[in-house]
């Protein structure tokens, strides 16, 4: 282990400091509305929440009180918002005729670097001044009328962020709003240069970071922020059992997205300790002691989101994460020509999966138990095996239907995996129904609440201390382009890409998917026929899989009719980039 750590430290020095953060900047944003509430008191709305502070320019000397807030109540900045929703006030003396940066006092909790138990918080540049998330500002004591040009929000974002890098639009306007909420959530939470857990602690956590990484890839061209977060977490790991395997997922995702095998090689050895293999027993399953069962085996967060999960000495969720981690490690080992190690990982996976199926699967129910010595069957014991492709082929359809019918009995974190499992197993329409459900456990609920950044939980009642600026709640930012547009890499670096759009009850969808080779443009419609327009960049090959809808009468590619081979599967085509290709399938419903 010591040699592995020394090797990782050496590579880190060659590749850049582990504590480096991706470049960030503050940009000037003007208010969208100013409203005089009473003489000398003005409410300022910047339209959306961002992390930042203010620059004010008064025309006369004045002492003003500035109220910053994420929430508004009865037309005023909410002075007593729930949980850790942000409100801060500061009184400052303004020098007439010169600009003043106005920021709240430093928050000790999210700037601690020497906490006895927690990893260090990520600090923003001192020259910015203190930043916090806010949308509304209330200014009391302003001399005269506050003009728009006298107040600017200095908002912090990744320096490389490109608003035009990605796009999504469908036939469902509400779904389009969900996409934009989630896309902006990823942008707004780039302020720290690495992926942090919102504003409460400003600490990277592995599961948060992985979900953030997936959505960042589908909304922007940057790869450095994910890499800097990975290197930070390899030095500052956190406590939950299932968070450690997420490090394997993060490095694997980088490799698939960039195709950069040397960069992956520099982290490979450090990942071996993240698979939970040190807890594997003679029965090929991951064991949990009392401390792990009562604290570190997290299953879901907060605790109330676990659907009654029963913790045992061998539990389904932890074992599912272990199996997914060693499966990914085998792929990475093969890529590095470490054949013996790859075969060892594969053998461990085969033994572990057989034991997993024998011990946890209830053949009569067609579902997984939470663990040994319990017959309880939770949502989580089934959604993770489905997402990780551990479920036998013959059981996937019924298990997917059971999950869809059971509903969103999980957190916004686990919803990423629940949605993946449904989309991957023919239940895309059910997945969209859950995303847009008219209840308080959906992204529709977030939208209707008026938030402009996704929440840490579905609602305040499920996590009273939740942040209102949590990127792990932004899963549709990656789910919609991956499954509704249908774009995913099949080989590292997107050199071979699968384009497999899912209708999921929609009649149209179009968008732009960023890749290291260049953007993919997809535009499909479905009425009496299905049509798809696809543009891919140079250096990319696309495996196009189009749905069989009704009875196909004629199939066209680039206006030329082609022979459609009878099959139960999708229509398949090969496209070599750079290319603009069109497909049309005339159907009889």
Is 367 among the domain residues? Answer: yes
pLDDT at residue number 70: 97
| Token code pair at residue 492 | 């590292």
pLDDT at residue number 126: 94
| Token code pair at residue 384 | 């993770």
Res 4 pLDDT > 60:
no
Q: Same domain, yes or no, for 59 and 120?
A: yes
Q: Same domain, yes or no, for 208 and 266?
A: yes
C-alpha atoms less than 13 angstroms from C-alpha of 143 in its C-beta half-sphere: 13
Q: Same domain, yes or no, for 171 and 154?
A: no
Percent of the chain with pLDDT over 90: 91
**What mean pLDDT is predicted for residues 100-122?**
92
Q: Same domain, yes or no, for 307 and 444?
A: yes
User: What residue has token string 């059992």?
Assistant: 241
**What mean pLDDT is predicted for residues 457-467?**
96
| Strand (E) or helix (H) holding 319 | helix 316-335
Q: Same domain, yes or no, for 31 and 148?
A: yes
Domain end, chosen from 158, 184, 216, is at 158
Lowest-pLDDT range, 9-18, 75-84, 249-258, 259-268? 9-18
pLDDT at residue number 567: 67
Q: What is the CATH number of the domain that holds 379?
A: 1.50.10.10
Q: Same domain, yes or no, for 233 and 269?
A: yes
Q: Same domain, yes or no, for 202 and 116?
A: no
Length of the chain: 589
Q: Same domain, yes or no, for 153 and 171?
A: no
Q: CB of 56 within 8 A of CB of 42?
A: no
Q: Same domain, yes or no, for 186 and 273?
A: yes
Is 239 among the domain residues? Answer: yes
Domain end, chosen from 426, 461, 483, is at 483
**What mean pLDDT is predicted for residues 490-515?**
98
Res 339 pLDDT > 70:
yes
**What mean pLDDT is predicted for residues 181-186?**
98
Res 437 pLDDT > 80:
yes
Separation between Cα atoms, residue 501 and residue 585, nearest integer Å: 14
Give which of 177, 26, 49, 167 is closest to 101, Cα–Cα: 26
Q: Same domain, yes or no, for 265 and 382?
A: yes
pLDDT at residue number 92: 96
In the chain, the number of structural domains is 3
Q: What is the 3-state secondary structure (H, E, C) of 345-409?
A: HHHHHHHHHHHHHHHHEECCCCEECCECCCCCCCCHHHHHHHHCCCCCHHHHHHHHHHHHHHCCC
* Mean pLDDT of the chain, nearest integer: 94
Separation between Cα atoms, residue 314 and residue 307, nearest integer Å: 18
Give which of 409, 381, 376, 235 is closest to 320, Cα–Cα: 381
Q: What is the pLDDT confidence band of residue 160, given thresholds at 50, 70 and 90?
A: very high
Is 12 among the domain residues? Answer: no
Q: Which domain holds residue 110?
A: 24-158
Q: What is the CATH number of the domain that holds 137?
A: 2.60.120.260
Domain end, chosen from 106, 129, 158, is at 158
Separation between Cα atoms, residue 282 and residue 307, nearest integer Å: 30
Separation between Cα atoms, residue 477 and residue 168, nearest integer Å: 9
Q: Are strands 496-499 and 541-546 parallel, antiparallel or unpaired?
A: parallel
Q: CB of 555 within 8 A of CB of 561?
A: yes
Is 360 among the domain residues? Answer: yes
pLDDT at residue number 316: 98
Q: Which residues pair with 587 in a beta bridge?
A: 552
Is 535 among the domain residues? Answer: yes
């Amino acid at each position: 282990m010591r040699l592995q750590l020394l090797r990782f430290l050496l590579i880190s020095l060659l590749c850049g400091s582990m504590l480096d953060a991706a470049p960030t900047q503050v940009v000037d944003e003007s208010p969208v509305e100013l409203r005089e509430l009473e003489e000398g008191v003005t409410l300022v709305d910047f339209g959306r929440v961002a992390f930042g502070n203010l620059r004010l320019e008064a025309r006369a000397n004045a002492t003003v009180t500035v109220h910053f807030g994420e929430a508004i109540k009865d037309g005023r900045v909410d002075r007593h918002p729930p949980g850790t929703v942000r409100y801060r006030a500061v009184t400052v003396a303004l020098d007439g005729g010169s600009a003043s940066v106005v920021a709240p006092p430093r928050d000790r909790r999210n700037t601690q670097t020497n906490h006895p138990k927690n990893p260090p918080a990520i600090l923003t540049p001192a020259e910015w001044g203190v930043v916090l998330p806010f949308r509304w500002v209330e200014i009391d004591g302003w001399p005269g009328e506050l003009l728009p040009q006298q107040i600017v929000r200095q908002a912090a974002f990744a320096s490389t962020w490109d608003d035009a890098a990605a796009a999504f639009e469908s036939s469902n306007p509400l779904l389009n709003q969900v996409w934009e909420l989630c896309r902006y959530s990823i942008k707004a939470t780039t302020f720290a240069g690495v992926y942090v857990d919102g504003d409460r602690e400003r600490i990277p956590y592995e599961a948060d970071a992985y979900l953030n990484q997936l959505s960042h890839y589908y909304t922007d061209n940057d790869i450095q922020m994910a890499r800097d977060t990975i290197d930070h977490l390899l030095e500052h790991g956190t406590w939950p059992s299932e968070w450690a395997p997420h490090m394997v997922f993060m490095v694997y995702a980088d490799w698939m997205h960039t195709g950069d095998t040397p960069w992956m090689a520099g982290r490979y050895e450090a990942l071996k300790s993240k698979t939970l293999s040190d807890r594997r027993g003679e029965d090929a399953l991951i064991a949990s002691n009392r401390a792990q069962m009562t604290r570190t085996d997290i299953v879901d967060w907060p605790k109330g989101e676990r659907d009654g999960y029963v913790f045992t000495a061998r539990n389904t969720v932890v074992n599912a994460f272990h199996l997914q981690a060693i499966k990914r490690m085998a792929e990475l080992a093969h890529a590095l020509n470490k054949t013996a190690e790859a075969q060892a990982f594969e053998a461990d996976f085969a033994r572990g999966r057989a034991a997993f199926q024998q011990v946890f699967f209830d053949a009569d129910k067609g579902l997984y138990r939470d663990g040994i010595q319990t017959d309880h069957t939770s949502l989580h014991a089934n959604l993770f095996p489905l997402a990780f492709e551990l479920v036998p082929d013959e059981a996937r359809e019924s298990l997917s239907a059971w999950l869809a019918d059971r509903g969103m009995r999980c957190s916004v974190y686990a919803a990423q995996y629940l949605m993946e499992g449904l989309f991957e197993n023919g239940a895309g329409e059910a997945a969209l129904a859950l995303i847009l459900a008219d209840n308080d456990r959906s992204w529709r609920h977030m939208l209707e609440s008026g938030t402009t950044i996704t929440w840490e939980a579905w609602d305040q009642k499920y996590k009273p201390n939740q942040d209102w600026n949590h990127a792990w709640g932004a899963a549709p930012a990656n789910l919609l382009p991956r499954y509704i547009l249908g774009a995913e890499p099949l080989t590292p670096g997107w050199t071979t890409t699968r384009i497999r759009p899912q209708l999921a009850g929609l009649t149209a969808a179009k968008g732009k998917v960023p890749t290291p080779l260049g953007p993919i443009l997809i535009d499909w419609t479905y009425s009496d026929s299905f049509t798809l327009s696809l543009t891919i960049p140079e250096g990319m090959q696309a495996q196009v899989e189009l749905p069989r809808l009704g009875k196909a009468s004629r199939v066209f590619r680039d206006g030329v009719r082609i022979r459609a081979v009878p099959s139960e599967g999708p229509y398949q085509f090969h496209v070599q980039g750079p290319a603009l290709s069109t497909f049309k399938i005339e159907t009889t419903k």
